[in-house]
Amino acid sequence: MWAMKNIGDTFLRKDINTRQIILGSFWRDEREQNVDGRFAVIHFLGDGRIEHPLYCFSIQANNRYLITRATVQRIHRGKRASSDICSWSGHIAECDLDVHAMKEFKISTTPNVEDAMLVTPESPLRESRHDMVVCMAPMYIYTDWEILVTGIELWLAMGATKIVVPVQSASSATYRILQEYEKKGIVIIRNWPKWPIMSDTNPNGLVLSRGIEESHVNCLFFVKPWADIVVFSDIDDFLLPLDPSTVSPGDNLQILRVSIPNEKNSNKSLFRQNLFAEHPQAGSLLFEHRDVQFVPPNRQEDQSLANFNFEFLRNSKNKMNCNVWRMKTRVVVNASRVDSVNMHETGIHRFGYVQTRVPCRQAHFYHLRHSHNTVPSPTPINMSPLADMLNKQWQTRIESFTSLKNEILNKTNTEYLEDFDRCMGAINDEHWTMKVSRCLTPHVCFSRLRRDVDCVAVASEYEFYRSGKGYFMNPINIRVQKSEVNCESPVPPFTSGNHYFAP
């Protein structure tokens, strides 16, 4: 047998078929359909270098299966090629189902029902329509609760009525603050566990920036049934007026969709159009963001929510001007016009809508990052009116908090980001050599710190289903528990499956 194996090593090749990690499944909202029928979307993670066939099975009135092949798209197809560097990526598969499929259906990698796995899509949240919803980037190893509060309060002041926050791991104080906002109906916490390690690969290190794009797409389909405009942003990125000294409540709705008087003209009949009205064919708006000088709150004294305020914003005196070449971007979409969002641009548009770049001189995001002590090419700004507005809003909000408001919270710490910053910078430097050693994601960076921080993490287990020669993998037993060392989330194990081969 060993002799045959040694001979076989000269001509055998590895044949690995589709392995799909299911991230979510959703019913297609009828208002988004231009044809009659019943449709569902499967959101999954898979190797971007291969095709992923997927068949859908739904019971008809005659008790026979309607079998259709799903339309499968990589979430950033057409925006960048798949590569060996970040080789795994999110995909969406749209199933054309029988009109009587109301609760569940089956999927398979082959057209044989014997290979099919049962799927129950997530029920749409019962929410009234929201003019503007914010989908935050996922939280991992997150301890900066002061910037979290700043982000939530600022987006609320600017017109958002719901904020979705995916969480993988965070300090206990941060998570408890999120829970307070969730009780008030302001925030929705979405669990975002790590992915399982395959027999030969670790998807966590092969997906750009720890799955921010996959998280954004998942959030998009989650909010589609009840959101008009969706903003995709990091916690420290904000859309503000060009001159923040003129800030007023609800400004983002005015920038994006509500017509307002042209302040430079006393004739009130003249209006400056909002951006979506100015670009009627736009499915998404692509904004530049400008780095802002950032002086963090005074972190020397014990801090609680009750004595927290936004005075530190007055120390942000400069932002990068708009004369600099194109910077990183943030995305705002009309939820019904797009099906995927990438890290710094939109992916799949529907019905002929397009991505539209907004000139920096017209509107841009503000980036208040922990490391922005100074900014290049500065232009002066006055953030005091914003600080006044947020302080007033916060005084009303804090009254409704529970006893948490008087507890001494952990000092915000950003030192753990320094190793990640150095690692990301090193990977970025490699790009200029055209030879990159690893995918641009913090998972491939080593942090030397071993801090005993009180953190919680989302943990899960996985089950797998062998379908033909491929696999489906589903998270089960998702829970929030104490984190591992350095505020990390545990890697989920496989605990059940229907085959002797693991994925």
Domain ranges, ordered by start, for the chain: 130-258+272-448
**Fold designation for 130-258+272-448:** Spore Coat Polysaccharide Biosynthesis Protein SpsA; Chain A (3.90.550)
Instruction: Compute how many other C-beta atoms are within 10 angstroms of the C-beta atom of residue 465.
Output: 23
Q: Are 187 and 174 in contact (CB under 8 A)?
A: no
d(CA 489, CA 214): 18
pLDDT at 213 over 90: yes
Average pLDDT over residues 275-299: 89
Are 85 and 427 in contact by the 8 Å Cβ rule? The answer is: no
What's the CA gap between 232 and 330, in Å, rounded? 7
| CB distance 37 to 72 below 8 Å | no
| Dihedral of the alpha carbons of 208, 213, 215, 218, in degrees to the nearest 10 | -140
What's the pLDDT band for 465 if we cut at 50, 70, 90? very high
- Full-model pTM: 0.93
For residue 353, give both structure tokens.
């809508």
SS3 397: helix
Q: Could you report the per-residue pLDDT of 60-88, keeping only the tens digit for each?
A: 999 999 999 999 999 987 666 777 888 99
Instruction: Provide the residue count of the chain.
Output: 503
Instruction: Return the higher-pLDDT residue of 259 and 394.
Output: 394
447 pLDDT exceeds 50?
yes
Structure tokens at 64: 């026979």
Supply the pLDDT for residue 338: 96
Count CB atoms within 10 A of the CB of residue 432. Answer: 8
- How far, CA to CA in Å, does 299 sit from each of 145, 246, 329, 408, 414? 12, 29, 30, 12, 11
Which band of pLDDT confidence, cut at 50, 70 and 90, is reported for residue 416? Answer: low
* Across 193-211, average pLDDT: 92
CB atoms within 10 A of CB 36: 7
Compute the distance between CA of residue 149 and CA of residue 158 in angstroms, rounded to an integer: 14
pLDDT averaged over every residue in the chain? 90
Q: How does pLDDT run across 162-182, given as a tens digit for each residue?
A: 999 999 999 999 999 999 999
pLDDT (tens digit per residue) in 349-359: 999 999 999 99
Measured between alpha carbons, how far is residue 334 from residues 49, 105, 299, 355 in Å?
A: 30, 29, 39, 11
Whether residue 247 is predicted with pLDDT greater than 60 in this model: the reply is yes
Mean pLDDT of 411-437: 81
For tokens 């898979």, name the residue. Answer: 46
- Residue range 105-138, pLDDT digits in tens: 999 999 999 999 999 999 999 999 999 999 999 9
Rounded (10°) angle between helices 145-157 and 384-398: 100
Q: Is the pLDDT of residue 155 over 50?
A: yes
Residue 222, pLDDT > 80, answer: yes
Q: What is the pLDDT of residue 478?
A: 98
Residue 43 pLDDT class (50, 70, 90 cuts): very high
Instruction: Flag the least confident range among 24-33, 115-124, 256-265, 417-426.
Output: 256-265
What is residue 269's predicted lDDT score, i.e. its pLDDT?
A: 32
> How far apart are alpha carbons 328 and 288 in whole angstroms?
6
